[in-house]
Structure 1
Amino acid sequence: MKKSYKLDEIDCANCARELQDGLAKLDGVEKVSVNFMTQKLTLEADDDRFDEVLQRVVDYTADVEPDCEILL
């Protein structure tokens, strides 16, 4: 499954790249993209585990970029 989400308050392109690199290493993430210009996160994960993987992505983002929120 592939879904896109709006990001609120991603500070810079470097922060977006670092966030993307970290998210790509999470268990269950098949593909992830963080676009600073459009303030968008696109996540691809297995349909059966998507909600679980999404929660990991949300938690990781809150830890690494506390000002950034994924608008679900």
Structure 2
Amino acid sequence: MKKIFILEDLDCANCAAKIENGINELDCVNKASVTFMTKKLVLEADEDKMDKAIEEATKIVKKIEPDVVMKAK
């Protein structure tokens, strides 16, 4: 299952890379990619793990970039 999010107020390419790497380390995530130019996060996880993946991904985003808002596209 794949979900797309917009990372509003993301203004640091290095932070985007850190967010992507952090989310990819989660056990509940199959794959994650962050595109800094479009501020887009593509999150792939099994359907039964998607809610947990979104919750954990949000925590990582807030830890690295507290001002960024993760909104479903």
- Normalising by structure 2, report the TM-score: 0.90
Alignment of 1:30-41 (within 5 A): 30-41=30-41
Letter in 2 for 1:70: M
CA RMSD of aligned residues (A): 1.0
Q: Does 1:8 find its partner at 2:8?
A: yes
Distance 2:34 2:62 in 1: 14
Is structure 2 residue 24 aligned with structure 1 residue 24? Answer: yes
In the aligned structure 1, how far is the partner of 2:55 from the partner of 2:49?
10
Tell me which residue corresponds to 1:48. 48
In the TM superposition, what is the alpha-carbon distance from 1:13 to its structure 2 partner? 1.3
Once the two structures are superposed, what CA deviation does each residue of 1:2-54 show, in whole Å capped at 9, x if it has no partner? 01011101122111111111111012110000111001100000111111111
Please list every run of 5 or more consecutive structure 2 residues that lacks an aligned counterpart in the other structure: none
**Residue identity in the other structure for 1:67:** D
Task: State the number of aligned residues.
Answer: 72
Distance 2:37 2:19 in 1: 14
2:26 is paired with a residue whose SS is: coil
